[in-house]
Amino acid sequence: MTAETPPRRLEVGLVQIRSALSAASRLLVCLDFDGTLAPIVDDPADATPLDRNEEALETLVAERAVSTAIVSGRALADVRGRVGESDAYAGNHGLELLRNGSLAVHPVASKRATLVGESCSALEAALDSVPGVRIENKRLTATVHTRAVPDPLRPLVRRRTAAVVDRLGGTDLEVSRGKRVLEIGPAIPWGKGNAVELTAADLPPETVVVYVGDDTTDESAFRAVGPDGIGIRVGGEEPSAADWRVRSPTEVASFLTWLGSAGIGLLNGSLEDEETGTIRPPSVQTELPKSSGTADD
Ligand SMILES: O=P(O)(O)OC[C@H]1O[C@H](O[C@H]2O[C@H](CO)[C@@H](O)[C@H](O)[C@H]2O)[C@H](O)[C@@H](O)[C@@H]1O
């Protein structure tokens, strides 16, 4: 991965992506949920993956040479209920990880879950008068949603949240920011990138890791894919550790559909021509299916 610069449009990277796939024998596809598989919506309870993303994921899961992981800021049980089959799931920004049939929870996060719960109760009271605010208690972390809060009141929500977390959590909890959210969690050096590394460590070294995500907590995961991996940031123009960018979950679907068909055909050095079925040299570029779609913040 490169230093943090604005990622380039995915189409520009197809030669490199094809070459990364043809140098590998296996594929680990790690996918964020909100803003990546599912479009951003006002009520987090309404978030649903696009049908085309579900279909593409199903195709990838069925491939023997492919492993998949859903890596979300949501609680693991929540995100698992929203996505069909996947080989692994990481919830709460990587603090809980289900892989190979076994669930691992970060032990420090477990110990601090009580503090998170107490903070949620205190925040319900402290933010009661703010219209549109929503508090999502995810046990190991919590989210204060400000999407429906009027703009002028958002600084107040930030101040009150910081004050409550400081008072109850001290140095044990911290607040970070995401898309119209404040995330409260244990102050420990652990994130989605660690979940991606642990999942990749189960697989042979010739595995190429793909990570697709749209928010700040996905940045550690982009770094975790390594120099030979494929990091794709969804939406926005901001600097990122991802090399490539798509605009929307609709474009994620186009990429995943391509990956599940022509993309996996490239593994083990074969560069198959999608139209003729013949093998082509690695320098030949094939276009992604065209799609439209808008970014969301
Ligand atoms: O890592 P993710 O799977 O992307 O989860 C990050 C947070 O996503 C959810 O909030 C975001 O999506 C909501 C529904 O579209 C939207 O209303 C909100 O403004 C977004 O920030 C989720 O509710 C959080 O728990 C996750 O941490």
Measured from the Cα of 33, ligand 1's closest atom is 3
CATH of range 109-186; options 3.40.50.300, 3.30.70.1020, 1.10.10.10, 3.40.718.10: 3.30.70.1020
Q: What CA–CA distance (Å, rounded) separates 92 from 229?
A: 23
185: CB partners within 8 A, 6+ apart? 92, 93, 95, 109, 116, 140, 141, 142, 173, 174, 176
CA triplet 121, 124, 130: central angle to 5 degrees? 165
CA 44 to centroid of ligand 1, rounded, Å: 6
Q: Which residues contact 222 (CB under 8 A, 6 or more apart)?
A: 1, 193, 211, 213, 231, 233, 240, 241, 242
- With a 6 A CB cut-off, is 135 part of the ligand 1 pocket? no
ipTM of the complex: 0.99
Q: Is the C-beta atom of 80 inside 6 A of ligand 1?
A: no
Burial 98-127 (b: 16+ CB within 10 A, else e): bbeeeeebbeebeebbebbeebbebbeebb
Quote the CA–CA distance of 281 and 267 in Å, as a whole number: 13
Across the chain, the runs of DSSP E, i.e. the strands, are 8-9, 26-31, 66-71, 88-91, 96-99, 102-105, 134-137, 142-145, 173-178, 181-186, 207-213, 230-234, 244-246
Give pLDDT, residue 60: 98
User: Is 78's C-beta closer than 6 angstroms to any atom of ligand 1?
Assistant: no
Smallest CA separation from ligand 1 atom 13, residue? 44
Q: What spacing in Å lies between the alpha carbon of 169 and ligand 1's midpoint? A: 23
CA of 290 from ligand 1 middle (Å) equals 27
The whole-number pLDDT of residue 4 equals: 74
CA of 3 to the centre of ligand 1 (A): 26
Quote the CA–CA distance of 223 and 114 in Å, as a whole number.
31
Classify 293 in phi/psi space as left (phi over 0), alpha (psi -120 to 50) or beta. Answer: left
- Which residue's CA is the closest to the ligand 1 atom numbered 6? 73
- Atom from ligand 1 closest to the CA of residue 41: 15
Ligand 1 neighbourhood includes 123 CB (under 6 angstroms): no
Task: Round the CA-based radius of gyration of the chain to a whole number and report it.
Answer: 20
Return the axis-axis angle of helices 113-126 and 154-169, rounded to nearest 10°.
140
Region of residue 100 (phi > 0: left; psi between -120 and 50: alpha; otherwise: beta):
left
In the chain, what are the domain boundaries? 8-105+190-269, 109-186
Q: Is 81 exposed, middle or buried (0-12, 13-18, 19+ CB in 10 A)?
A: exposed
C-alpha span between 240 and 215 (Å, rounded): 10
pLDDT, residue 238, reads: 85
How is domain 8-105+190-269 classified at the architecture level of CATH? 3-Layer(aba) Sandwich (3.40)
Query: 29, 66 in Cβ contact below 8 A?
Result: yes
Helix axes 51-62, 249-258, angle to 10 degrees: 30
Q: What's the pTM?
A: 0.92
Ligand 1 pocket check for 54: Cβ under 6 Å: no
Angstrom distance (rounded) from CA 39 to CA 254: 14
Neighbouring CB atoms inside 10 A of 270's CB total 12
The one-digit pLDDT tens for each residue of the chain (297 residues) are 445 778 999 999 999 999 999 999 999 999 999 999 999 999 999 999 999 999 999 999 999 999 999 999 999 999 999 998 999 999 999 999 999 999 999 999 999 999 999 999 999 999 999 999 999 999 999 999 999 999 999 999 999 999 999 999 999 999 999 999 999 999 999 999 999 999 999 999 999 999 999 999 999 999 999 899 999 999 988 899 999 999 999 999 999 999 999 999 999 986 544 444 443 433 333 454 454 444 455
Torsion over CA of 41, 42, 44 and 46, rounded to 10 degrees?
Answer: -60
Q: Please name the residues in contact with 91: beta carbons below 8 A apart, sequence gap of 6 or more.
A: 72, 74, 75, 76, 77, 78, 79, 80, 97, 98, 138, 140
Catalytic residues: 32
